[in-house]
Amino acid sequence: MLEKTGVATQEDLALVMPSKERLAKGAVAVIECFQRIPCNPCYTSCKRGAIIEFKDINDRPIINADKCNGCGICVSNCPGLAIVVVDETYSDTEALVKIPYEFLPLPQEGGYVTGLDREGKPVCRAKVVKVLNTKAQDRTPVVSLAVPKELSMVVRCMSLDDFYSDNTMVCRCEEVTLGEVRELIRKGYHTIDEIKRISRAGMGPCQGRTCRQLIMQELARATNQKMSEMPMSTFRPPAKPIKLGAVISSLGGGECNE
């Protein structure tokens, strides 16, 4: 799968994920470099000896996570953009993810961008905490993003486009925008059921299949809650309008064209 799509599978990732215990101690590099290629700047740039010495230039990098302090030097030196640093101790609700970013313009510190997953799909709004650009020709700028903690192992890239502007339509069935949801949160409605009942977001035919998750993300971000600990809305199957005649005939009432 990786060879065909360039996107690592969960099995690939399981081989390189730091342990929960190590993540709980602070920032650590996650090296998502899965193929044997003649390349070793990650090893030569790490002054802490956290990347185990290559016996062969084609070796895949192996990290001794206990020696890594998450400095990010290897992120900037890796030509394959295969390394990120993850700090799950950044705050109660957010993780800091340092990602390599090769496009111009660079984002502004303090601004917001859209966090993308390994396939380039938008997954969250992320705050730009720091932009490190040494301007050395062979170094990649490193952008530190604050992302929802549960997405620390999901966000691996970013887009300057704000997919999460106030005009973004979160509930297409009932035409509710993200701006309207944000306004309700500002007014003190802090559960998804409250927002659903007032705005009707999630009450259309799809019963919240898309908007539920988006509203939960916005609520979590705005109220510093963990999505996993927030109350969910009532789940109902998707609804589809049917003719009254179909109901009558299903009750044995014979043919009806109304």
Q: Is 8 in the site for ligand SF4 (CB under 6 A)?
A: no
Q: Binder to ligand SF4 among 36, 48, 187, 236 (CB under 6 A)?
A: 48
Q: Is 46 in the site for ligand SF4 (CB under 6 A)?
A: yes
Q: Is 97 in the site for ligand SF4 (CB under 6 A)?
A: no
Burial class (CB in 10 A: 0-12, 13-18, 19+), 198: middle
In the complex with ligand SF4, which residue's Cβ is closer, 68 or 181? 68
In the complex with ligand SF4, which residue's Cβ is closer, 74 or 157? 74
Q: Binder to ligand SF4 among 16, 23, 29, 151 (CB under 6 A)?
A: 29
Q: Is 215 in the site for ligand SF4 (CB under 6 A)?
A: no
Q: Is 26 in the site for ligand SF4 (CB under 6 A)?
A: no
In the complex with ligand SF4, which residue's Cβ is closer, 54 or 163? 54
Could you tell me the end-to-end alpha-carbon distance of the chain, in angstroms, rounded to an integer?
52
Instruction: For strands 142-148 and 122-132, give the pairing.
Output: antiparallel
Q: How far is it, in rounded angstroms, from Cα 150 to Cα 10? A: 16
Chain residue at closest Cβ approach to ligand SF4: 80
Q: Is 257 helix (H, G, I), strand (E, B) or coil?
A: coil
Stretch that binds ligand SF4, among 11-19, 65-73, 124-132, 144-152 (CB under 6 A): 65-73
Q: How far is it, in rounded angstroms, from Cα 198 to Cα 186? A: 14
**Rg from Cα positions in the chain:** 23
Q: How far is it, in rounded angstroms, from Cα 247 to Cα 147? A: 48
Q: Binder to ligand SF4 among 5, 19, 69, 249 (CB under 6 A)?
A: 69
